[in-house]
């Protein structure tokens, strides 16, 4: 808004000066916080490195062969519980490594060698979660758009024969795979777990596309051109299909908490796509066999008198892609089975730390009895008793000194009386807050054997209740 006189301008300037002084204070505080943040990041990085160093020492100690008597590193070899304690420690180490990995995702990481060569020693870590997800989504959209463009150009080249269009297509492939390698390296620094062959696949594809770009226009080139254009159309279609399918799988698994939020769609079949095995594998195998066929065709063309060095080099690269893709995809099956066993092992060991409702399935009157009562059976028996009988059972009973009743043995001696009373009190404190109706709902999926045993116990308790009621009525009649 413009001002009409100098007084209004001076007044506006004074107001702006006051706001600037407040802004200076905020900026000064920001710089102080930024310095503190940098110091805290350095401390966290050193602390994580120290934790991993100590964890590696512990793991190396646990992997050693049985210790000699002169060794003093582990002095529990004669402990009968040593094996169990070793397993529990291994579980704690696995959990700690996962915790350290989560910590690393919120602090800057050093760039890899490839990024240092391409971009220099700059920080590409994204600390804001929303910006991380936005960058990942842009990566996904980039792949989708380029695949659609590649299908269009390959179809045009298949129907026509223009060298310029061919070079444009090859240049697009080189630029696409170069950009993929850079973006994937940045995603890996920011927590994405793409690794192994699928990163190497893009580097090899970059080299292959570069050789295709500089391949001279000759007889061998035109002998392979039509086959290569058909191959590009099919591969682009499969990649588009894989992208749409993997994106749906990742969205569902991330919502269930089974996958990391920075996981991305990549080529090939993966363990988290287990349910789509029958749908995806045929398309992939056809593409891999086509790569082998390309290698075979180029190998035959290499025997021509006019064959360039590009021909045999491309044959070797296509063969390498075929072997890597096939072996990596087929290795998913045993890897998935191994992960299932590891998953089952980890959650079995959690029972050592978590007291589930299954551990409460002991008799509340006699836990040492061979026939144990479930909470459902006890609740059913308890609900059928008369109010008077409940009050009698809930009322504290005074045991004579010469007749102390413990939990495990009703004829225990007087010396064990205090221990029995303490155990009774402990069990009462444990079970007073148990919601037996909720436990009954949790036990609906139990096996038929447990249900049968519960019914037998319940029937026996019903007969006992009826017998007690009959005895009470008989005694009442006798008194009358």
What is the arithmetic mean of pLDDT over 441-463? 55
What is the arithmetic mean of pLDDT over 61-68? 64
Tokens linked to 440? 């009954």
pLDDT 10s digits, 218-270 = 899 999 999 999 999 999 988 888 877 767 666 665 555 544 545 544 444 44
Q: Specify whether the CB–CB gap between 142 and 179 falls below 8 A.
A: yes
The answer, yes or no, to whether residue 456 has pLDDT greater than 70, is: no
Q: Which of 100-104, 232-236, 359-363, 444-448 has the highest mean pLDDT?
A: 232-236
Q: Specify whether the CB–CB gap between 161 and 145 falls below 8 A.
A: no
Tokens linked to 150? 């590649």
The answer, yes or no, to whether residue 279 has pLDDT greater than 80, is: no
The answer, yes or no, to whether residue 310 has pLDDT greater than 90, is: yes
Q: Specify whether the CB–CB gap between 241 and 283 falls below 8 A.
A: yes
The answer, yes or no, to whether residue 138 has pLDDT greater than 60, is: yes
CA distances from residue 64 to 50, 74, 93, 462, 479 in whole angstroms, order as listed: 22, 10, 16, 59, 78
Place of tokens 């059928």: 384
The answer, yes or no, to whether residue 154 has pLDDT greater than 70, is: yes
Task: Measure the CA angle with vertex 475, ends 470 and 478; round to 5°.
Answer: 125
Tokens linked to 178? 């170069």
| Alpha-carbon gap, residue 328 to 313, rounded angstroms | 23
Instruction: Give the 3-state DSSP-derived string for the chain, with helices as H, strands as E and coil as C.
Output: CCCCCHHHHHHHHHHHHHHHHHHHHHHHHHHHHHHHHHHHHHHHHHHHHHHHHHHHHHHHHHCCCCCCCCCCCCCCCCCCCHHHHHHHHHHHHHHHHHHHHHHHCCCCCCCCHHHHHHHCCCCCCCCCHHHHHHHHHHHHHHHHHHHHHHHHHHHHHHHCCCHHHHHHHHHHHHHHHHHHHHHHHHHHHCCCCCCCHHHHHHHHHHHHHHHHHCCCCCHHHHHHHHHHHHHHHHHHHHHHHHHHHHHHHHHHHHHCCCCCCCCCCCCCCCHHHHHHHHHHHHHHHHHHHHHHHHHHHHHHHCCCCCCCHHHHHHHHHHHHHHHHHHHHHHCHHHHHHHHHHHHHHHHHHHHHCCCCHHHHCCCCCCCCCCCCCCHHHHHHHHHHCCHHHHHHHHCCCCCCCCCCCCCCCCCCCHHHHHHHHHHHHHHHHHHCCCCHHHHHHHHHHCCHHHHHHHHHHHHHHHHHHHHHHHHHHHHHHHHC
| Alpha-carbon gap, residue 434 to 427, rounded angstroms | 11
pLDDT 10s digits, 198-211 = 889 999 999 999 99
Between 239 and 384, whose confidence is greater? 239
What pLDDT shows up at residue 454? Answer: 52
The closest alpha carbon to 209, from 188, 240, 235, belongs to: 235
Q: Specify whether the CB–CB gap between 372 and 386 falls below 8 A.
A: no
The answer, yes or no, to whether residue 298 has pLDDT greater than 90, is: yes
Torsion on CA atoms 147, 148, 154, 157, rounded to nearest 10: -140
Q: Specify whether the CB–CB gap between 176 and 144 falls below 8 A.
A: no
Domain ranges of the chain: 38-61+83-107, 113-351, 357-443
What is the arithmetic mean of pLDDT over 434-461? 55
Helices 448-479/375-384 angle, 10° precision:
20
Between 272 and 65, whose confidence is greater? 65
Tokens linked to 386? 């008369």
Q: Residues near 313 by Cβ (< 8 Å), separated by ≥ 6?
A: 211
The answer, yes or no, to whether residue 167 has pLDDT greater than 60, is: yes
What pLDDT shows up at residue 31? Answer: 94
Q: Specify whether the CB–CB gap between 156 and 165 falls below 8 A.
A: yes
- Give the pTM: 0.60
Burial of 249: CB neighbours in 10 Å, binned 0-12, 13-18, 19+: buried
Q: What percent of the chain has pLDDT over 90?
A: 31
Least confident of 25-34, 252-261, 275-284, 369-378: 369-378
What pLDDT shows up at residue 187? Answer: 87
What pLDDT shows up at residue 130? Answer: 80
Q: What is the residue-averaged pLDDT of the chain? A: 74
Q: Specify whether the CB–CB gap between 439 and 376 falls below 8 A.
A: yes
Q: Specify whether the CB–CB gap between 271 and 259 falls below 8 A.
A: no
The answer, yes or no, to whether residue 368 has pLDDT greater than 60, is: no
């Amino acid at each position: 808004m413009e001002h009409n006189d100098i007084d209004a301008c001076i007044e506006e300037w004074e107001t702006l000066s006051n706001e600037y002084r407040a802004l200076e204070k905020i900026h000064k505080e920001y710089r102080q916080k930024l310095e503190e943040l940098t110091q805290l990041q350095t401390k966290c990085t050193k602390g994580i490195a120290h934790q991993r160093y100590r964890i590696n020492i512990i793991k190396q100690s646990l992997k050693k062969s049985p210790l000699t008597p002169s060794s003093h590193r582990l002095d529990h070899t004669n402990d009968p519980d040593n094996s169990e304690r070793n397993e529990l420690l291994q579980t704690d180490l696995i959990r700690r490594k996962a915790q350290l990995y989560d910590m690393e995702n919120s602090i800057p990481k050093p760039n890899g060698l490839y990024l240092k060569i391409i971009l220099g020693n700059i920080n590409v870590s994204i600390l804001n979660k929303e910006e991380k997800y936005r960058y990942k989504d842009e990566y996904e959209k980039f792949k989708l758009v380029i695949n659609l463009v590649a299908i269009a150009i390959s179809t045009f080249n298949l129907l026509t024969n223009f060298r310029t269009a061919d070079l444009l297509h090859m240049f697009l492939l080189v630029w696409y795979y170069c950009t993929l390698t850079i973006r994937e390296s940045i995603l890996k620094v920011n927590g994405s777990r793409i690794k192994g062959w699928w990163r190497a696949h893009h580097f090899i594809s970059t080299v292959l596309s570069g050789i295709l770009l500089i391949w001279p226009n000759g007889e061998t080139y035109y002998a392979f051109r039509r086959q290569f254009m058909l191959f590009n159309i099919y591969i682009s279609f499969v990649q588009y299909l894989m992208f749409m399918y993997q994106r749906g799988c990742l969205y569902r698994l991330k919502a269930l908490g089974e996958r990391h939020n920075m996981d991305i769609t990549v080529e090939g079949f993966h363990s988290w796509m287990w349910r789509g095995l029958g749908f995806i594998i045929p398309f992939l195998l056809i593409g891999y066999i086509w790569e082998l066929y390309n290698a075979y065709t180029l190998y035959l063309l290499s025997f021509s008198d006019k064959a360039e060095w590009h021909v045999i080099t491309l044959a070797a690269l296509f063969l390498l892609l075929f072997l890597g893709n096939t072996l990596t995809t087929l290795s998913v099956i045993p890897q998935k089975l191994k992960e299932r066993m590891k998953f089952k092992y980890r959650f079995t060991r959690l029972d050592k730390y978590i007291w589930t409702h299954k551990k409460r399935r002991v008799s509340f009157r006699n836990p040492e009895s061979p026939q144990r009562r479930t909470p459902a059976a006890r609740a059913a028996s308890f609900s059928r008793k008369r109010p008077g009988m409940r009050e009698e059972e809930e009322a504290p009973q005074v045991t004579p000194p010469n007749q102390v009743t413990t939990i495990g043995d009703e004829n225990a001696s007087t010396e064990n009386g205090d221990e029995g009373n303490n155990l009774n009190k402990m069990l009462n404190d444990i079970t007073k807050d148990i919601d037996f109706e909720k436990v009954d709902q949790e036990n609906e999926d139990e096996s038929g054997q447990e249900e049968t045993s519960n019914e037998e116990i319940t029937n026996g308790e019903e007969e006992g209740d009826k017998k007690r009621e009959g005895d009470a009525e008989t005694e009442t009649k006798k008194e009358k």
